[in-house]
Structure 1
Amino acid sequence: MHPYLRSFRATQPALPPVERIRIVAGALLGILLTTLISRWWLGDGQGLPYLVAPIGASSVLVFAAPATPLAQPWAVFGGNVVSGLAGVVCARLIPDPVMAGAGAVALAVLGMSLLRCLHPPGGAVALTAVLGGPVIHAAGFSFILAPVAANTAILITMGLAFNNLTRHRYPHVAPAQPTPTARNNAGYTIADLDQVLAHYGEQLDVDRDDLDAVFRQVEARAYQRRHGDIRCGDIRSRVPAAVGPEDTVATVRGLMADYHMRSVPVTDETGRLLGVVPPQPASVAGRQGIRRLVQPAVAALASTPVVNILPAMTAGAHEAMVVDETGRLVGMVTTADLLSALYGNEAIVLAG
């Protein structure tokens, strides 16, 4: 089959049965309750419908795709209200319904884009305001408040309740990342991602933070697949030296010089890891004690997969301390150990 023809095939991923049941139940309950509440609240408002058809399209996004930017509360409410306003304005200013309908949709898209509330069912709301008949035309701008804004607010409330009760956070928030601008194990920064999205030049139905979270998880899984059997205990080095909390800066500097260490682990009398001491500036007196200079260490159990310490190592840590179940220091993983384990059997080609 020609590649162009293949592009018309279904590309949406198949949903797990449980998720399919969830979204069907959400759409059923959401529209049912929205309809019942709207009928009770709005009643027969001078012949106006108590429920507009585009709410059905909005419910598909709210319940079937609650993580997409197009389904977030501001997009749903703002998109429908702005589109209703565009439709009423065009219906009043343009006598020809064909031109008024086209103008209403175009104006709705412009308004939603400017207000960052793009919501596809809004186009249907705009058309409804133009082609809905004499009753809707007579209602004028009040059509925007009831039924459009009222229906939309009720639907969003249903979405908030149902999605959160079924463990789908709504409004959607991407998993928090430790440092948004930090270099991650994929080797890119948030600024890099922003530049690519800006260069892409199209509206993508995915949030920037979601993309970042997905990329991080994909990279971690790729490393896990390639190196998942490698544990910190398999590649750990012997700790050449450690100090106690009562030692001095001079002792730390001497160990760093003798063993070429980037940081020196600090242990108590039983060998439990307390932290590490990084290099100290020359202004710190050698006779000064290190107790107040101890910083948290990157620590892992011997059974920890090495991929789990990659984010910390790529963020600037030079060593990860390996401890046993009681917290006793049993070794360390250096950057050299990590590189040797991950790429020791692969040829490294340098460009240029």
Structure 2
Amino acid sequence: MLSDHLRPWLNALRPAPQAVNTRERLRVVLGAALGLLLAGGLSHALMPASLPWLVAPLGASAVLVFGVPASPLAQPWAVVGGNTVSALVGIACLRWLPLPPFAIAAVAVALAIGLMFLLRCLHPPGGAASLLMVLSATQDWHFAFEPVALNSLLLVLAGMAYNSLTGRRYPHAQQAAVMPAGAQVAPPRFGEAELDAVLVRYNQVLDVPRDDLADLLHEAELLSYRNRLGGLRCRDIMSSPVITAEFGTPLAEAWALLQQHRIKALPVVDRVQRITGIVTRADFMRAAEADRRDGLAGRLQSLLKPSPGTHSTKPEVVGQIMSRQVRVASADRPIAELVPLFSATGHHHIPIVGEQARLVGILTQSDLVKALSHGP
């Protein structure tokens, strides 16, 4: 009975597996060695011989700067600010608090953590820097800048150079990544507001930058879709044949097709079935000035009614109201890659093209739901 309660507790103490290959481990080890060599060597050359040329907390800082350079706790301001501010707090507590040494140590570390939170430079080795000032009975304010601040600055500079040369972004911006103009990247199902709300609810220091967390969740979501949908391609679930229109199709005829087949869009094709646009119910509403709520039915009816004579002041055919920018997908494209488009961008239908970019089908939200419900 005791073992049933003890086993889960013992299992919780087991170290978590690290998904880091040998090459990355060697990169971190070599970086820490070079970073400390640079920081220690230059500090030794620049500082008076009477001062220590390297402080112990810098070893822990090196683990963060080279081991987890994306971490908010490892960024330049966190390293330099956290170590320096904490050292100043330790010196201040030692000089001004009339308490036993063990009490001063506890207060100094606690105050250092609070100040690092306030100044947005939380850095775990900062707690060690504060404690070091107390244990070494250091009361000289200058010590917080030489060697603590100098050591930290040199380590950060080494981290910038080494991480960049070895393919790691450092400093790592701690905000959502800005996508280049024109980039065709499917967004995740959750938005910025949802992610922020979850982080607020989590209410703990997260040792992962926000943009990396979003990317990881997005990749995990796509992998989940791939696993559920298996090897399904667009051609496997698309609707075919497709109800289409041409540029010169009268608006009344196109509207009748939408109503008759209970669909939301008509791909517009040329004579060889290549996509030239798409017309949706929204396009009809826009042409009928749906933003004016009075008399919408009448305006729609007027739009659909052909104008007498050879000249008209309103649209008459599909080509005049269709959307020319159409997102399409190839018949061989994996279904999993299109899921975020439907879930996050408002797409209800994506035309599917085959050889020579000719229309072969259309993929709708209904098709996707059926595929997901029958997935493995």
Q: TM-score, normalised by structure 2?
A: 0.80
Q: CA deviation at 1:60?
A: 0.3
1:306 maps onto 2:310 in alignment: no
Relative to structure 1, the CA distance from residue 163 to residue 309 in structure 2 (aligned partners, 3 Å threshold; closer, same or farther) is same
Query: Could you report, residue by residue, the CA deviation over 1:304-325 in whole angstroms, capped at 9, with x for unpaired residues?
Result: 1111110111122111111125
**Distance across 1 between alignment mates of 2:375 and 2:354:** 29
**Distance across 1 between alignment mates of 2:246 and 2:32:** 63
Deviates more, 1:92-101 or 1:305-314: 92-101
Structure-to-structure mapping, 1:78-89, within 5 angstroms: 78-89=81-92
CA contact (8 A) 1:248 1:286 kept: no
1:5 maps onto 2:10 in alignment: yes
Relative to structure 1, the CA distance from residue 175 to residue 201 in structure 2 (aligned partners, 3 Å threshold; closer, same or farther) is closer
Match of 1:29 among 16, 25, 34: 34
Structure 1 letter corresponding to 2:9: Y
* Secondary structure in 2 matching 1:25: helix
**Distance across 1 between alignment mates of 2:110 and 2:219:** 39
Deviates more, 1:80-89 or 1:266-275: 266-275
1:129 maps onto 2:129 in alignment: no
**Distance across 1 between alignment mates of 2:20 and 2:335:** 32
Q: CA deviation at 1:250?
A: 4.5
Instruction: Using the aligned pairs only, state the percent identity.
Output: 41
Relative to structure 1, the CA distance from residue 175 to residue 302 in structure 2 (aligned partners, 3 Å threshold; closer, same or farther) is farther
CA contact (8 A) 1:80 1:152 kept: yes
* Secondary structure in 2 matching 1:303: coil
Q: CA deviation at 1:329?
A: 1.6
CA contact (8 A) 1:26 1:162 kept: yes
1:234 maps onto 2:233 in alignment: no
Structure 2 letter corresponding to 1:93: W
Partner residue in 1 for 2:310? none
Which segments of 5 or more consecutive residues in structure 1 lack a partner in the other structure? 347-352
Q: CA deviation at 1:14?
A: 4.7
The structure with higher relative contact order (CA 8 Å, sep 6+) is 2
**Distance across 1 between alignment mates of 2:247 and 2:340:** 28
Q: CA deviation at 1:177?
A: 8.0
Q: CA deviation at 1:288?
A: 6.1
Relative to structure 1, the CA distance from residue 31 to residue 220 in structure 2 (aligned partners, 3 Å threshold; closer, same or farther) is same
* Secondary structure in 1 matching 2:13: coil
Aligned length: 336
Structure 1 letter corresponding to 2:340: P
Q: CA deviation at 1:204?
A: 2.7
**Distance across 2 between alignment mates of 1:39 and 1:299:** 63
**Distance across 2 between alignment mates of 1:219 and 1:177:** 21
Match of 2:255 among 229, 253, 258: 253
* Secondary structure in 2 matching 1:7: helix
* Secondary structure in 1 matching 2:171: coil
Query: Could you report, residue by residue, the CA deviation over 1:99-118 in whole angstroms, capped at 9, with x for unpaired residues?
Result: 32222111100001112221
CA RMSD of aligned residues (A): 2.7
Partner residue in 1 for 2:372? 342
Which segments of 5 or more consecutive residues in structure 2 lack a partner in the other structure? 1-5, 180-185, 290-302, 304-313
* Secondary structure in 2 matching 1:2: helix
Relative to structure 1, the CA distance from residue 83 to residue 204 in structure 2 (aligned partners, 3 Å threshold; closer, same or farther) is same
Q: TM-score, normalised by structure 1?
A: 0.85
Partner residue in 2 for 1:69? 72
Structure-to-structure mapping, 1:188-199, within 5 angstroms: 188-199=190-201
Structure 1 letter corresponding to 2:153: A
CA contact (8 A) 1:70 1:117 kept: yes
Q: CA deviation at 1:150?
A: 1.6
CA contact (8 A) 1:263 1:277 kept: yes
Q: CA deviation at 1:53?
A: 1.5
Query: Could you report, residue by residue, the CA deviation over 1:30-73 in whole angstroms, capped at 9, with x for unpaired residues?
Result: 11111122222x2326x112221111110000101112221122
